[in-house]
Structure 1
Amino acid sequence: MTAGEKAKRLLRAALAAAALSAFAAPAVAAQFPPRRAELFDPPPLVALFDVVRVPTRAPLDNPDFAVADATPVALLLDIELRAEPVKPDPLDLAWSLQPEEKRDLALALEAWTTSGGAALGPERHRLRAALAAAYAARDLAPFWIENGEWRASARAALARLALAADDGLDLRAYAAPDAEMAAPTAADELALSEAIAAYALQARGARIDPERISGLVGAKTTLPDPALAVAEVAGAGANAGDALQAYNPTHYGYQQLREKLIELRTQRASAPASDGLYAAAAGNVTQSDVLPPASKSKRRRAAGLAKASTSRVEAEIIANMERWRWLPRDLGEERVEVNIPDFELAVVRNGEVTHRTRVIVGKEATPTPIFSNALQYLIVNPYWNVPPSILNKEMLPKANGDVAAIAASGFNVSYRGGKLVVRQPPGERNALGRIKFMFPNDFSVYLHDTPSRNLFSASHRAFSHGCMRVDAPFAFAEAVLGPGSGWSESRVRRLIGGSERYINLAKPLPIHIEYFTAYVDEGGRIVLRPDLYGYSARVRKALGLGA
């Protein structure tokens, strides 16, 4: 077949297609609505050319000549075609030149980001939109598939996703593909990216906003960018599983709970839990994110604890693991940790507990806030500025509204801007005792001494209005100021007098006010503490673990 014959055939096909479309287009359009052809469907090849007709003989100019039927003019003429390309649509041309793998991914992205509707939820739609933007930014290059097969990073990440429950995560809503799949598709690529992004977000605490548990939970969670998380894990190659796991807390206390969760689940599958796995919900073991000391383990068991359901204990462990996600990633090599349900405080230096003491925390009605900050200075012989809540709800009613009676009991009374201000001067009767430890915060709470030192002998030490009272406060002062500061316990005591004396720390010391009702003691057993403020129950409920 000559070039001219090929051109004629091409023209006939084009004319026939045009005639057919004139009659069939409305019906076809009604049956198949548009699919955004301007973005995804490459145009027919003939549409890329402009056909110029060149007659090969004189035109039919006889006025008496008439065409008896509607035979296409192309069948009546011997036409030589000269095809001249015109400038194509850059988007259509670029689309037609894309590798099949990219075109498949683009079509899958279009369906993936628009499917699900309201049932998928706004957060899931936002997640998919962010990932779609990430794919667009990398010119539709897959993260996980290469030459029709899973990359090593995909297999490693899928192995970690299969163990998500070990970290108390719940990815049941995200169907990860099969790591052994011989020919993963574009849909599998997207499913893996979404599951990895969801894992990273959950591992950093996205499932619960701490402020929704209580307005007194000032802990903050810093969530990762899902697209950057996927890119980071994919870029880790064969170590992608470790990179994904690293989104969970790396704190030692968290790792202990994780190991215990795995252990309990293994034992539940084989035999009933032994009461030797549990420590008592009372006693003097405290939680700190440090290696356990080499001292002999304290053996304690509560009478009813051995009867606790293993699944109930697992739920409590997961709830506490979730609260570890609220803490800063870096607690500080030197720091103070206060665990409210444990009623204890620990000073940590170089990864070891150098000081431990009992504390009194807020009552159930006046909880101690949960947050992280930094100790900055100490005040010996502090004034106590009576908070308005205590003044209005306790002092004034007790004095029958008699301000003079309050002044007669040793308080300084004045008016500022028309408001009553009451201060208690330094002294033995001062509610703050002889020393307080300052870490300015939004909750106006701090650590301090107390004249009611007998309360430290109680096992349940929730007696304050929110601040934390410290047992042996001058020994704690020496521990906080640190070795080499020149401030021994005895030197700090010598400042006791009638006026306030300030001691600044050489550098701010991180302090973390925590709420852990479950941890692993130095004997490898789970310690369960009472849920003093009900926060753990709220976390369990928010995670779908029951209240």
Structure 2
Amino acid sequence: MRAPVEWSNFQYVSALALLLSLGGAPARAEEGAAVPARTPGAAPIEWLEKTPTGLRAAISRAPAGTVVAWAGAPAGSVLLRGDSADAPEGGDAQGDLDPTITQPPTAETEGGQDRPAASIETPAAPASDSVDPDAFAPPLPPINAALKAALEARARPDFRDPFGPLNRKEREAVAAFYAARDFAPLWSTDGNPNPEVKSAMERLERAGDDGLDLKGFPRRPALAGSDEDLVLADIALSDAVVAYARQASGSRVDPHAISPLIGAKPEVADASIILAIVASAGEDAGAALKGFNPPQKAYEALREKLAELRRERVPAARAPSLPAGPALKGGLRASRAPVIRARLSLDGQNGAAVAKPSRIEAEILANMERWRWMPRDMGDSRIEVNIPDFEVVVIENGRIVQRNRVVVGKEQTPTPIFSNKMQFLIVNPYWNVPQSIIRKEMLPKLGADPSYFRRLGYQVASVGGRLRVRQPPGERNALGRIKFMFPNDYSVYLHDTPSRALFSESKRAYSHGCVRVDDPFRFAETVLGRANGWSEQRVKGLIGGKERYVYLPNPLPVHIEYFTTYVDESGRLQLRDDIYGYSHRVKAALGLDS
């Protein structure tokens, strides 16, 4: 028969202590650690049926009658270290947990009959506001403790951060990531750099290839040395990785600060996601880091042009050497004069050449930055309107299948920048005149000409105390015979126009914000799809006096963009005018306007 249990010899733990000891991260607990004795309370101890493999030896070393906890066990669970006499038949001869215990054991009565033993109870948990979670946790390893102290120190408002120019929220996110892993170093193991370090640092050194600015971050080529060195290097590398990836994904410039009519929103990566991806990528950490830059081919083409432009700059070492000759006096008339003038930029040509590539480089960088605002997945088939290029293209499976000239908004009434999906088109549309046009343009004309609305065929009504004006379908309709609809907050769309002469202009910024499309029925055939039975002639056959709705077989992504520099299909760099001044503002925000 099993030896009687001496309840007075057991150690007791509070339910809160068990929760903290058992539910914590593995780095904070030691396997087989005995839980300190506590005063009995009210919560009964749960019993485990089996001991996890690997803990048996550790448990066997614990004093008899000790309640044992380990990291990773279900919250509120304990192990009982029994005497060798308690070992079940076939159990551990050294005295281990009885794996058959599934409920509190019984104690013999004086009459030889078993009776339920007194309940094992633990004290009620103290109020949450008086609990120090670290009071029940084993101490952190020295390196973890040093990392925790460094992160806590730089969280203070008066701390001058030596690790780099992360903002407060970014620093907090980095600290939270370390806290979730019990402040273990991220980039080293047992004092040796992890495989990700070399690859990640090589990419960080080449941040300028993508126009990113990491000059404020210290260079720490190796993660080795004292705990203090390891801590500083680990945090500095984490900061640099986060800064690179967040800049690469669009954190440097707020599009809405450039203009309230820019609705594009960069998909800025979260610090925890960045660190989790890069720190687990092995020797591909650099590629993983680079992957936070825009994936579009147009961005990569600009990146390559930037590298090409920088290579073409003639370094001082390759400047023309001075031919031998006598000292020049009284002016530059000798044979060496042209070379000397070029070296000193006295003829102005060299200086102008340097200034021109600098301006082009800044323009490329500003456009690369605007690519960070675009959706990462723009769709293999899509519509793109590039405002400075005055053109709309239809792309199918990554290939341009249709180009149309467009008229875009004036400088005073810019076309908004955003992405959405085209869902349907309307043949014979009404034009519901925007209130801004009624107020600024129509009412002054109505004052001078009371027949203005009637003469031009507008329909007017008072709705809710406001004047509403619309133009019915017809040849004179401002939207022409067809308009292409995609929901947006700006009430703009693509449409036809009766003012076709404007398409012959080289610079076509004349609208109130909508985008007027040249050859709109050919455009309609492309977006609807000839394969779906929609030819240009069939769409034109819907022309009449009544609005006709035609839905696209599949909604098509529409991206209204603003790129003043791009690489065309032949590989040539194209430059366009900054008609709204957005590129100038982005360059100023990036410090490129000097």
* Pairwise TM-score range, normalised by the shorter structure: 0.7 to 0.9
**Could you tell me the TM-score, scaled by structure 2's length?**
0.69
Displacement of 1:199 in angstroms is 0.9
Q: Which residue of 1 aligns with 2:179?
A: 136
User: Pick from 238, 242, 248: which aligns with 1:193?
Assistant: 238
Q: Which residue of 1 aligns with 2:279?
A: 234
- CA separation of 1:269 and 1:226: change in aligned 2, threshold 3 A: farther
Q: Is structure 2 residue 211 aligned with structure 1 residue 164?
A: no
Displacement of 1:415 in angstroms is 1.3
CA–CA distance in structure 2, aligned partners of residues 452 and 307 of structure 1? 44
User: Pick from 407, 428, 443: which aligns with 1:360?
Assistant: 407
Moved more, 436-445 or 392-401: 392-401
Displacement of 1:180 in angstroms is 8.0
Displacement of 1:489 in angstroms is 0.2
Q: Which amino acid aligns with 2:308?
A: E
Q: Which residue of 2 aligns with 1:249?
A: 294
SS at match of 2:447: coil
Asked if the contact 1:355/1:476 (under 8 Å) is kept, the reply is: yes
Q: Which amino acid aligns with 2:459?
A: N
Q: Which residue of 2 aligns with 1:225?
A: 270
CA–CA distance in structure 2, aligned partners of residues 245 and 154 of structure 1? 14
Q: Which residue of 2 aligns with 1:420?
A: 467
CA–CA distance in structure 1, aligned partners of residues 565 and 419 of structure 2? 20
Q: For residues 54-112 of structure 1, what are the alpha-carbon distances to aligned partners after superposition, in whole Å with 9 as ceiling and x for unaligned?
A: xxxxxxxxxxxxxxxxxxxxxxxxxxxxxxxxxxx99478565x433323323332334
CA–CA distance in structure 2, aligned partners of residues 146 and 119 of structure 1? 25
Q: Which residue of 2 aligns with 1:151?
A: 194
- CA separation of 1:520 and 1:122: change in aligned 2, threshold 3 A: closer
CA–CA distance in structure 1, aligned partners of residues 150 and 314 of structure 2? 41
Q: For residues 28-55 of structure 1, what are the alpha-carbon distances to aligned partners after superposition, in whole Å with 9 as ceiling and x for unaligned?
A: xxxxxxxxxxxxxxxxxxxx9xxxxxxx
Q: Which residue of 2 aligns with 1:515?
A: 562
SS at match of 2:531: coil
CA–CA distance in structure 2, aligned partners of residues 91 and 408 of structure 1? 83
- CA separation of 1:378 and 1:231: change in aligned 2, threshold 3 A: same
CA–CA distance in structure 2, aligned partners of residues 204 and 534 of structure 1? 23
Asked if the contact 1:369/1:466 (under 8 Å) is kept, the reply is: yes
Higher RCO (C-alpha under 8 Å, 6+ residues apart): 1
Q: Is structure 2 residue 377 aligned with structure 1 residue 339?
A: no
User: Pick from 206, 216, 219: which aligns with 1:173?
Assistant: 216
CA–CA distance in structure 2, aligned partners of residues 252 and 395 of structure 1? 45
Q: Which amino acid aligns with 2:190?
A: N
Q: Is structure 2 residue 158 aligned with structure 1 residue 111?
A: no
Asked if the contact 1:396/1:402 (under 8 Å) is kept, the reply is: no
SS at match of 1:400: helix
Q: For residues 125-183 of structure 1, what are the alpha-carbon distances to aligned partners after superposition, in whole Å with 9 as ceiling and x for unaligned?
A: 32222211111111122110112121111111111101111011111122242148677
Q: Which residue of 1 aligns with 2:593?
A: 546
Structure 2: state its 5+ residue gaps.
1-35, 37-131, 318-351
CA–CA distance in structure 1, aligned partners of residues 387 and 144 of structure 2? 54
CA–CA distance in structure 1, aligned partners of residues 390 and 276 of structure 2? 43
CA–CA distance in structure 2, aligned partners of residues 210 and 539 of structure 1? 9
CA–CA distance in structure 2, aligned partners of residues 205 and 513 of structure 1? 18
CA–CA distance in structure 1, aligned partners of residues 236 and 354 of structure 2? 42
Q: Which residue of 2 aligns with 1:478?
A: 525
Residue pairs, 1:268-347, within 5 angstroms: 268-270=313-315, 309-347=356-394
CA–CA distance in structure 1, aligned partners of residues 548 and 440 of structure 2? 31
CA–CA distance in structure 2, aligned partners of residues 321 and 433 of structure 1? 36
Displacement of 1:119 in angstroms is 7.9
Asked if the contact 2:224/2:230 (under 8 Å) is kept, the reply is: no
CA–CA distance in structure 1, aligned partners of residues 354 and 303 of structure 2? 22
Displacement of 1:355 in angstroms is 0.5
User: Pick from 430, 435, 452: which aligns with 2:482?
Assistant: 435
Instruction: Give the aligned CA root-mean-square deviation in angstroms.
Output: 2.7
CA–CA distance in structure 1, aligned partners of residues 185 and 509 of structure 2? 56
- CA separation of 1:116 and 1:355: change in aligned 2, threshold 3 A: farther
Q: Which residue of 1 aligns with 2:307?
A: 262
SS at match of 1:220: coil
Displacement of 1:308 in angstroms is 5.9
Asked if the contact 1:407/1:413 (under 8 Å) is kept, the reply is: no
CA–CA distance in structure 1, aligned partners of residues 384 and 316 of structure 2? 36
CA–CA distance in structure 1, aligned partners of residues 184 and 588 of structure 2? 41
Q: Which amino acid aligns with 1:315?
A: A
Q: Which residue of 2 aligns with 1:100?
A: 142
Q: Which residue of 2 aligns with 1:22?
A: none
- CA separation of 1:483 and 1:411: change in aligned 2, threshold 3 A: same
CA–CA distance in structure 1, aligned partners of residues 142 and 314 of structure 2? 47
CA–CA distance in structure 2, aligned partners of residues 440 and 545 of structure 1? 35
- CA separation of 1:535 and 1:444: change in aligned 2, threshold 3 A: same
Q: Which residue of 2 aligns with 1:350?
A: 397
CA–CA distance in structure 1, aligned partners of residues 420 and 273 of structure 2? 29
- CA separation of 1:92 and 1:415: change in aligned 2, threshold 3 A: closer
Moved more, 405-414 or 238-247: 405-414
Displacement of 1:306 in angstroms is 7.6
Displacement of 1:464 in angstroms is 0.4
Displacement of 1:115 in angstroms is 7.5
CA–CA distance in structure 1, aligned partners of residues 138 and 217 of structure 2? 31
Q: For residues 343-390 of structure 1, what are the alpha-carbon distances to aligned partners after superposition, in whole Å with 9 as ceiling and x for unaligned?
A: 001000011001011000001111000000110111111111111111
Displacement of 1:411 in angstroms is 1.0
Residue pairs, 1:403-418, within 5 angstroms: 404-418=451-465
- CA separation of 1:242 and 1:493: change in aligned 2, threshold 3 A: same
SS at match of 2:294: coil
Structure 1: state its 5+ residue gaps.
1-47, 49-88, 273-304
Q: Which amino acid aligns with 2:487?
A: P
CA–CA distance in structure 1, aligned partners of residues 224 and 142 of structure 2? 20
CA–CA distance in structure 1, aligned partners of residues 200 and 521 of structure 2? 51
Asked if the contact 2:223/2:233 (under 8 Å) is kept, the reply is: no
Asked if the contact 1:453/1:471 (under 8 Å) is kept, the reply is: yes
Displacement of 1:484 in angstroms is 1.8
Displacement of 1:222 in angstroms is 2.1
Displacement of 1:250 in angstroms is 0.5
CA–CA distance in structure 1, aligned partners of residues 446 and 157 of structure 2? 67
Displacement of 1:520 in angstroms is 1.3
CA–CA distance in structure 2, aligned partners of residues 91 and 526 of structure 1? 60
How many residues align structurally?
431
Q: Which has the higher helix share?
A: 1
- CA separation of 1:388 and 1:193: change in aligned 2, threshold 3 A: same
CA–CA distance in structure 1, aligned partners of residues 493 and 448 of structure 2? 28
SS at match of 1:103: helix
Q: Is structure 2 residue 169 aligned with structure 1 residue 126?
A: yes
Q: Which amino acid aligns with 2:175?
A: A
Displacement of 1:264 in angstroms is 1.0
Q: Which residue of 1 aligns with 2:432?
A: 385
Displacement of 1:427 in angstroms is 0.8
Q: For residues 8-44 of structure 1, what are the alpha-carbon distances to aligned partners after superposition, in whole Å with 9 as ceiling and x for unaligned?
A: xxxxxxxxxxxxxxxxxxxxxxxxxxxxxxxxxxxxx
Q: For residues 447-483 of structure 1, what are the alpha-carbon distances to aligned partners after superposition, in whole Å with 9 as ceiling and x for unaligned?
A: 0001011110100000100000000000000011124
- CA separation of 1:269 and 1:115: change in aligned 2, threshold 3 A: farther
